[in-house]
Amino acid sequence: MRLGYLYSRYPVISQTFCDAEMLALERRGLELEIGSVYPPLTSLRHEHISRLRAPVHYASPQEILRISEENAKIAGRWPRDLVEQHERKYGPGVKAEQRARNALYFADFFTHKGVDHVHVHFANRAAHTALFLKEISGIPFSVTAHGQDFMKDLGSDDLLREICAAAEFVAAETDYSRGLLCERCPDSAAKIHRVYNGIDLEHFPTPAQGTTNPMPRIISVGRLVAFKGFEHLIDACAELARRGFDFVCDIIGDGPLRDRLGAKIDMLNLSSRFNLLGSLPQRAVLEKIQAADIFALASVIDAQGASDVFPTVILEAMASALPVVSSRLAGIPELVMHGQTGILVSPGDTTALTQALEQLLRDAELRLRYGRAGRARIEQHFRIEHTVMPLLKLFETSSAAAVKSHQRRASQSEAATTARQTAYLVDRWPDKDLPLLERELEEMKRRKVPIVPFVCELNSGARFSRAMEQIAPSLEFLPDAMVIEAEWRANTVLAQKLEEERAQQSTRAPSAIFLRQARFALVLRRLLREKKISHVHATSSRALVCALMLKKLLNVTVSATIEPRPELPRNWIQDALSECVAARLCNRKLLHQRSGSFLVDKTTFRSAPRKALGLITRNTGIGLTTRARFWHEWAELLARWSCIDRKSKIENPK
């Protein structure tokens, strides 16, 4: 079974349960395809994400999706009736047209990948998108509902009932969540199942027994938002300080309340006891938890009705053998056993919270006993290998019929991608310095040359011509700058190697251009492997900087088109061309002593008057007026470099 995961935004640093679940499914042998409508809001990544075999595929920019929407309307693929129905029934706040636009993109993506079933975490925007995806493609979907997503974020119980009715099944992360869902969606109750989140104990070695800090350390982790109850925790610690207890409290996380919490700590003269550490990578978070003595999470219900439901960080604290102090709220009592693995208090009861923390601060043996019991509970009930099994069975049951119907499509998709392909690397698009790029891509398409045009950056300020609108849906866009920066930070060794190689070159690309193109290269290397790219054609001198890095990273061959007024210095271009198997050049001086695969770029003369073209042809012997012949020659060269059968693959339209 090939399983798709669709997120509204991925990765999100606080949603480690999503990562753990997908990694566990991959270990079980499932092939995953991961799609995200929007890029993450931060470049910080947990280290374990790099172990996912499936890359994350992001939707094209909204400007491009709007063009695809218009094309779908013309072709009759647009779910007009469902969009109008949702706009009329649920109002403009649900953004039905935008959900359908995103669904159209991922319907094509998942269909091309041969996905049998799509799963969504959170019953909100992504689940609404999955509803349209099913309408467009017929691919079935399921949802894991958590709590705040359907209780508040979705904003409509009627829409929730429609999503649950259309889903193959709904997983609720706690019995508490399942009960609420069944109340709101009684007609779907039979297919709503409780499926706990789990954690990978590989990251949690069995803690050393009997060790405590000389000065007890309390730790709390979460977004700095109201329902996490950090203000109550600070008040409780202030009272403990007044009672003469020595302790330190670390708070890990970031959010809109950071300044307010910091001011409260200063006002209560607690700055020597509190550390607001901000967001940290997962490894650092776990190190801090494992070095602490008490875990506290003073969850409450905020003014909008939002609350914690089943905080993963409590799982992590119990796996680290920490006693837990938290609230008797939502699904937390399903995890923390009061009086056995920790202490639960009423939400917002600062006095009870203070007493619970005092009890544990006074009694080191009680802390150790609760911690050992918590670790044992995780081992017995919340290992990811155990918690993922009910989900896997639900996938297998609900997708049995879908697998058969999609197998033929999957095999066709596989066959379509077995041939080696050429990447057309476009630094930015649209680009006034590449006025004929759209014509070139269309010519390659007409001749059935297997190329994949990658656009590193969308020039969103440019106005699209009709030719641009026609070609836009076939372009593959790199994700936004935050994703690119995250990839750069996650591959520091490789990034350093690229920088060192540049330092040793006798002629170097300007540093600003190099750093920009190097970031593109680290993202592209995975995409090019996935597409089975054997040759990279750089459509400009800037793109050639990136292409030559990809040559080193992936052992691909490289060619280039050098524009009439290149941004790179001429001596760098001369050296770079020596690493290319071919090129199209406007400057005839650069052709000196180069092979027959280095051509005068005849496309640059296209805008000249026909009479002038004829004169140039007579004087130089270059047939500039025979563009069809030139495109056919170029297509055959691309075919040679990508190692495909020219006779069967390349056509010469008249």
DSSP string, 548-584: HHHHHHH--EEEEEE-SS-SS-HHHHHHHHTT-SEEE
For residues 133-161, give the mean pLDDT.
Answer: 92
Q: Answer whether CATH 3.40.50.2000 is correct for domain 2-198+384-414.
A: yes
Q: What is the 3-state secondary structure (H, E, C) of 7-57?
A: EEECCCCCCHHHHHHHHHHHHCCCEEEEEEEECCCCCCCCHHHHHCCCCEE
141 and 163 in contact (C-beta within 8 Å)?
no
- Tell me the CA end-to-end span of the chain in Å, nearest whole number: 44
Q: What are phi and psi of 596, to 5 degrees?
A: -70, -10
Q: What confidence score (pLDDT) does residue 401 get?
A: 54
Weakest-pLDDT range from 122-126, 478-482, 569-573, 649-653: 649-653
For residues 235-239, give the mean pLDDT.
Answer: 97
Q: What confidence score (pLDDT) does residue 180 get?
A: 94
Tokens of 439: 């014509």
The Cα 335–Cα 244 span in angstroms is: 32
Considering the chain, tell me which residue range(s) the CATH 3.40.50.2000 domain(s) occupy. 2-198+384-414, 201-381
Q: How confident is the model at residue 644 (pLDDT cuts 50, 70, 90)?
A: very low
Q: What confidence score (pLDDT) does residue 170 get?
A: 97
33 exposure class (CB count in 10 Å sphere: 0-12, 13-18, 19+): buried
The CATH classification number of 418-649 equals: 3.40.50
3-state secondary structure of 586: coil
Neighbours of 80 (CB within 10 A): 13
Model confidence at 608: pLDDT above 70: no
The pTM of the whole model exceeds 0.85: yes
Tokens of 110: 């998942």
- Which class would CATH give 201-381? alpha beta
pLDDT tens-place string over residues 407-446: 444 444 444 444 568 999 999 999 988 888 999 999 998 8
448 vs 211 pLDDT, higher one: 448
Q: What confidence score (pLDDT) does residue 419 get?
A: 57
Q: How confident is the model at residue 343 (pLDDT cuts 50, 70, 90)?
A: very high
Tokens 């001596």 belong to which residue? 571
For residues 71-86, give the mean pLDDT.
Answer: 95
